[in-house]
Amino acid sequence: MRQAWASLGVTPVAGSYAASRRPFTGNRPSSAAQFCKLRLKRNRLATETDDDHSMNNPAVVIPDADAELCLKVMRCLGIHRGYKAYLVTSEVANPAIRSRFCVGTEMRQGISDAAHLDRLLQLGRDRQGGILLPVTLSGFQFVATNREALASAFRLPPLPPRETIDLASDKWRLFTLAREHQLPLLPSEVLTRQVIDAIRSGTSDLRLPVLVKSRQRRGGTGFQKLASPAQLESFGSRITDRDKDEYLVQPFIHGMDYSLSVFCERGVIKAYTLWRALAYGGKQYTIPRVIQFVEHDGIFSSGQKLMAILEWEGVCDIDFFMDEDTGQFWLLEVNARFWQTVSAAAAAGVNFPVLCYEAATAARAAHWPSQKNGLRYSRPSGVPALFTMRDTRLRGSLEILCNTGLGEILRDPLPEIATLLNRAARRRVLPD
C-alpha cells in the first residue's frame, strides 16, 4: 500500500494531527501565468482568463474531507472558479488529496471533537481569511454546534442551527413536522412489534409490500423492500432494543425520484435545481445513472413551504417521489449536507459550493443563477443509457464532457488513478 501511494508522492503521516508536505498557500493559478478554464460558448471551445481568482483569494478548508462528497465539492469550486481547498482528513490514502484543486492536507487520526476544534481554530488563526466549508451531515452538525468559536477564525457559509439540522435529518421527526403543516407525505409508522402484527393481520392501513428505511442513515442505506409476511417477521426479529425506534415503514410504490436542491436565505429559496430520474442502475435505492433537470410547480411550492417552516439557511437537498401515472408526489426526506448530484447541478447552471463560498465572502453576484431546464446529465456509468434515449441532443465532444461525469474526471484525473492504485494494493495484501 505504501509503495503504491509513494508512486503518487503521498507520504503517510504518523501521529494524531500532522500537516502534509504540501503547504497551505491559498488559492493559486494552475500555471505560473494564469488560471484558464474551458467553457462552451456559442457551441465552440473558448478560453477564459480568471483574473478575479488569483492567489489573493482565500482558500477553502474542508474539515470533513474523508467523504466522497469532498471531491465533488472541490471540483465544483475548482473547475468552475479556480478556487482551491485545504483538506482535513483521517485517511492517508484519501484520493481527494491527489486532486489538482487540493493545496494541502492536515491528517486527523484518532482525536476527539474538542481537539479537532482546537486544531481547526489554530489553522484558521494561522491563515487568516480562510473559509470553512463542511460537506457532510456530521460536518454541518459540527460547524453549527461550534459556530461561535469557529467564526472567530474562519469565514463561514450560512448554516441553520444544530437543532434544525438534527430535526431535518431525522425522517420521523421531519414527517411529524410536515404532517402538522399538511405537506404531501406517504403514510409512515415507526416499525414496532405492534405495527408488524397489525400489518400481518390486515388491521393496519399499510399493506404488503412495504418499504423499511432507517430514520438516520442517508443515500438509500438501510432501505429494504419486504413483500411477504415471512420477510416482515424476519426483519422484525432482528430489531434489538438498541435500534427499536430506528426504522420507519411506508407503502412500497412504483414511481420516480425527484430531487430539489436549494440555497436559502432565512427560509426563502434563492437558487435551486430540480431533477427527475431517467435511468437507474447499480445498487437499488441509490443515485440514478441519468437525470434530467425539470420544473414542477407543486414540488417547488412544497419545498419552499418546508424551507420556510424550518427557516433554513444555506444549502440542502429535498427528496420527493412521484407516481408518474397519477402525478401524485410525496416528500421523502431532507439531506442537510451537500449531495451526490452537486456536480450535475453545476453543469445545469447552479453551482452550490460556489454560492456558499460567495455567501461566506459577501461577494455574491447581483443575480441568482437559474437551472438549464431540460438538460440531461449522466454519471460515467450512465453514458451508454444516455445515448440510447430518445431526444438526447449533445452538440460536440465538449458538451458531452460537460453533461457527464467524464468531463470532471478528465480535467482532474489523479483521484481516480489513486483509487485504482489503492484497490490494486488492497488486492495484493489480501490473503489467498
For 380-427, how does the pLDDT look when each residue is reduced to its tens digit (9 = 90+)? 877 777 777 766 665 555 677 788 888 899 999 999 999 998 888 777
pLDDT grade for 11, boundaries at 50, 70 and 90: very low
**Residue-level pLDDT at 12:** 41
* Cell numbers describing residue 326: 397519477
What is the grid cell recorded at 116?
A: 479537532
User: Comparing C-alpha atoms, which of 66, 158, 48 is closest to residue 106?
Assistant: 66
Q: What percent of the chain has pLDDT over 90?
A: 54
Burial class (CB in 10 A: 0-12, 13-18, 19+), 248: buried
In tens, the pLDDT along 255-282 reads 999 999 999 999 999 999 999 999 887 6
256-392 belongs to CATH 3.30.470.20: yes
Q: What is the DSSP string of 154-165?
A: SB------HHHH
Coil, helix or strand at residue 373: coil
Residue type, 53: H
Q: Which long-range contacts (CB under 8 A, 24 or more apart) does 34-42 make?
A: 35/82, 37/79, 37/80, 37/82, 38/398, 40/396, 40/398, 40/399, 40/402
109-162 confidence digits (pLDDT tens): 778 999 999 999 999 998 788 999 999 999 999 999 999 999 999 999 999 999
Q: Which CATH number fits domain 2-156: 3.40.50.720, 3.50.30.50, 2.60.40.350, 3.40.605.10?
A: 3.40.50.720
Q: Do domains 2-156 and 188-251 have the same CATH topology?
A: no
Of the candidates 375, 335, 352, the residue with the CA atom closest to the CA atom of residue 133: 352
Can you tell me the distance from the alpha carbon of 160 to that of 144, in angstroms, rounded to the nearest whole number? 7
Closest to 357 measured CA to CA, from 113, 163, 85, 102:
85
pLDDT score for 390: 67
pLDDT-based confidence at residue 8 (cuts at 50, 70, 90): very low
Indicate the pLDDT class of residue 429, thresholds 50, 70 and 90.
Answer: low
Would the pTM count as exceeding 0.85? no
Residue 23 clears pLDDT 50, i.e. is over it: no
Res 309: pLDDT: 98
Note the pLDDT of residue 325. 86
Better pLDDT: 234 or 52: 234
What pLDDT score was predicted for residue 245? Answer: 74
CATH fold for the domain made of 188-251: Dna Ligase; domain 1 (3.30.1490)
| Residue 332, strand partner residues | none
Domain locations along the chain: 2-156, 188-251, 256-392
